[in-house]
Amino acid sequence: MYYVHRHTTEADYQVIHYFPSFPSGNIGEEVVAPDNLAYLVWVAAGGTPIVKANGRFLSVVDNQLVVDPNKDSILAAETAAAQAEATRLAAKAQAIIDNIPSWSAVEAAINAADTVAKLRSVVLKIARVLYWNVKNTSD
């Protein structure tokens, strides 16, 4: 029987109790509260929980939890990338809004088109929006 501190962040962890499961002899596990009496008695008797890392920026060295020293810069870069992508998508949506008329305007333009040049203008706007959606770029 032994206990593990399974960390999900630097400060948060679960206490996991591992025990033999009879009659199969397999190892069973259960999550127990940090104030569980059996756990506290085990610690008081000199038991040292094994430290396991279950978080993205966590690892264990010599049974000590270690946080990736680049965590803040990685998260900042990811946040900046997410904001840039949100800005790009908003610009794309606005470009589509700006370049495609309403259906009634499209229908009226097609019905009123008496020259190839007028039809060409409407078709180019629709084709531009279709191209942007398929290629995912406005180049």
pLDDT digits (tens, 9 = 90+) for 55-112: 889 999 999 999 999 999 999 999 999 999 999 889 888 887 787 777 888 788 788 8
* Domain boundaries, given as residue ranges, for the chain: 2-68, 72-135
Nearest to 18 by CA among 50, 65, 41: 50
Phi, psi at 30, each rounded to 5°: -150, 150
pTM: 0.57
